[in-house]
Structure 1
Amino acid sequence: MFIRKAFYWWLFPSAVVLPVWLLIGWAAFHSGSGWTFVGLLVLCPILFVALLAIGGILMARKSVRDRRAVSWYDTGLLAGWSASIIAFGFFPPGATGWLAVLGVLFFLGLFWVGLWELVTETRDRVAVTYAAYQQVAQPSQVRRPEGPVVDDADVIVIEEHRED
């Protein structure tokens, strides 16, 4: 449970930390051309928005908000995605291409798994709510008294007249 909670708290800080790590990693480890830096200037805002979108999809689930922990599927995919971004930040020669592809695959996996979990959980919650409303809306069986009904209550009748 501790690991799942840690990734819950990592969701939104990662949107800032990981793109900044790519810029720091480029400055520290990259020895190529300046075009890589221009590519990073385009990539980092896209990565920021993607991380925020994934965080929003995961936080939209009531179970995640209640437990303050993501699911195990989310934990595995988030760990892989974060690891691939961190590894990409070291700019290993010859490996940046497949690390970028791996990062995109982890993003797509997180997006679709997160969306599937959100839809499934919401559908189940709506079904429970609908069943509760359906039960309340059903007329209950009223038992009629077996003996004679005596109705000697006073009735007040108020008549309204409108003058046009």
Structure 2
Amino acid sequence: MFIRRAFFYWQFPAAVILPAWILVGWGIFAATSWQILGLIVGVMMLTVGMLATAGLIFARKDVRAERAVSWLDVALLTVLHGLIIAVGFFTPATALLGTLSVIAVIALFWSGIIQLVVETRRRVRTALANFEAQAARIQSPPQKPRIDGEYIVIETSDRRIPPRI
């Protein structure tokens, strides 16, 4: 539970810190100015993608209630964060690592959507089942008249009550 909670609190700061690490890392490891200029656009898109996936994860009620992400989210976030840290070192494999980072963000995004839909569907089904159970209690079948002998019916007339003006 500790790991899941740590990722819950880390995902929003990570959307800013990890892209900043890429800029700093490329500056330290001798990328050219044109490469860094092109990287700025990619870093902005990475930040938006990470914020979108963090928002999808945070949108789930179970995640907010437990203050912990799911284990699938932990696995995908670990892969994504590891790839982003590796991209910051500006190695000959940076292009491959960057491509894998994009794939990881897309996988995290779709995983978040699927988990949100599944959780919402489960909650709606539970709410509808509770509603139907309450409606069934309210609309109980009419009671049958008692059959235990003869009845005397007394008819009353409204003539005794004077009309009001």
Q: Which TM class, normalised by the smaller chain length? A: 0.7 to 0.9
Name the structure 2 match of 1:79.
78
> For 2:17 and 2:142, how far apart are their aligned partners in 1?
64
- Residue 45 of structure 1 deviates from its aligned partner by 1.2
Instruction: Using structure 1 for the length normalisation, give the TM-score.
Output: 0.84
SS of match in other structure, 1:11:
helix
Distance 1:52 1:32 in 2: 26
Post-superposition shift, 1:95?
0.5
Deviation of the 1:51 alpha carbon:
0.8
Q: Are residues 38 and 63 of structure 1, via their aligned partners in 2, closer, same or farther at CA, if it must alter by over 3 Å?
A: same
1:144 CA displacement: 4.7
Alignment partner, residue 16 of structure 2: 16
**Aligned partners of 1:77 and 1:68: how far apart in 2?**
18
- In the TM superposition, what are the counterparts of 1:111-150 in structure 2 within 5 Å? 111-138=109-136, 139-144=139-144, 146=146
Q: 1:33: Cα distance to partner?
A: 2.2
Shift of 1:141: 3.1
Q: What corresponds to 2:33 in structure 1?
A: 34
Shift in Å, 1:54 = 0.4
Work out whether 1:4 is the aligned partner of 2:9.
Answer: no
Kindly tell me the number of residue pairs found equivalent between the two proteins.
Answer: 151
Structure 1: give runs of 5+ residues left out of the alignment.
Answer: 152-158, 160-164
Percent identity for Structure 1 against Structure 2: 45
**Alpha-carbon deviations, 1:21-61, whole Å to 9, x = none?**
111111211x2422111111111211111111000000000
Deviations 1:115-134 (A, max 9, x none): 11100000000001111112
Is 1:67 matched up with 2:71? no
Shift of 1:82: 0.4
Deviation sequence 1:100-124 (CA, Å, 0-9, x none): 1110111111111111110000000
| Mapped partners of 1:57, 1:91: distance in 2 | 30
- 2:43 corresponds to: 44
Q: Which aligned pairs between 1:87-106 and structure 2 lie closer than 5 A?
A: 87-92=86-91, 94-106=92-104
Partner of 1:54: 53
Which 10-residue stretch deviates more, 15-24 or 79-88?
Answer: 15-24
Query: Higher Cα Rg: structure 1 or 2?
Result: 2
1:78-106 Cα shifts (integer Å, max 9, x gaps): 000000001100111x2001101110111
CA distance in 2, matches of 1:37, 1:150: 97
CA RMSD after TM alignment: 2.2
* Alignment gaps of 5+ in structure 2: 155-162
Residue from 100, 105, 108 that aligns with 1:107: 105
